[in-house]
Amino acid sequence: MASSNSVCTHLSGFLALTLVACSQVAPPAGSGADDADSGTQPDAALESSVPNEAGPPPGGTHVAGALAARGATFKTSRTTSGEYLLDIVLGDVADVCHTSRTNRFTKVLHLTLRSANAPSPGTFAIVRDTVMGGSGPAPQGTGVLWSISDVGPDLCSLDNQDQGSAGAVTLTKVTSDAIEGAVDITLANAAAKAQGKFVATSCVAPGRATLACPLAL
């Protein structure tokens, strides 16, 4: 995905594993090098059609294994090359978008799915890559297990705990305000799986103090 006008920013972490998000978006799309900025521009056509945000339906998400999740939220964006990015964050609360973090360290599973066209039902192979969403031909995706903490003025410091090395994410239903699907991925370091179904609701304005903070960077 490298190009002459790509903007690459490091996702901050305190372990050896570091991901790089290649934005392919001309400045001033991103923030500083310590921000976990996806570097992409929100897709106006998709975001403008999203109604007022609402919490996910009860029991909509059941993911177990490397991370026990019972809620999910998503945000869409596009690169200047025309590809679509769908970022989904799964956490251990029902309303991931609006729930403030209460623990010093909180783990979430961050999926980034890249496609040539607007997100639609289908399967995304998970690859281990230094680029969020993968750098091979679309459709492709990546999965990262983040530990979120607050360091000084940084209300959303992301520490890479593990990264998906294989598996897939399957979308079964896609609307402007909710996405349903299933995740079945293997994490590289722990050799553990994250498996289950999810219902992700739109998060138009994620906050740094919430579990959806990876979507705010």
Q: List pLDDT tens digits, range 155-211.
A: 999 999 999 999 999 999 999 999 999 999 999 987 799 999 999 999 999 999 999
Assess whether pLDDT exceeds 50 at residue 4: no
User: Cis peptide before 27, with omega less than 30 degrees from 0?
Assistant: no
Nearest Cα to 87, choosing from 97, 102, 95, 98? 97
Question: What's the rounded Cα separation, in Å, for the pair 211 and 5?
Answer: 31
Nearest Cα to 60, choosing from 154, 173, 144, 167? 173
DSSP run (H or E) holding 73:
strand 71-78
DSSP run (H or E) holding 9:
strand 8-10
- Which residues, 6+ apart, have CB-to-CB distance to 126 below 8 Å? 141, 142, 143, 164, 165, 166, 167, 168, 169, 185
pLDDT band at residue 41 using 50, 70 and 90 as cut-offs:
low
pLDDT band at residue 103 using 50, 70 and 90 as cut-offs:
confident
Nearest Cα to 26, choosing from 75, 84, 74, 78? 78
Nearest Cα to 90, choosing from 216, 196, 208, 209? 196
Structure tokens at 24: 């392919």
Pairing of β 106-115 and β 71-78: unpaired
Assess whether pLDDT exceeds 80 at residue 36: no
Assess whether pLDDT exceeds 70 at residue 109: yes
Mean pLDDT of 114-123: 97
Residue type, 149: S
Q: List pLDDT tens digits, range 88-101.
A: 999 999 999 999 99
The neighbouring-strand residues paired with 74 are: 88, 202
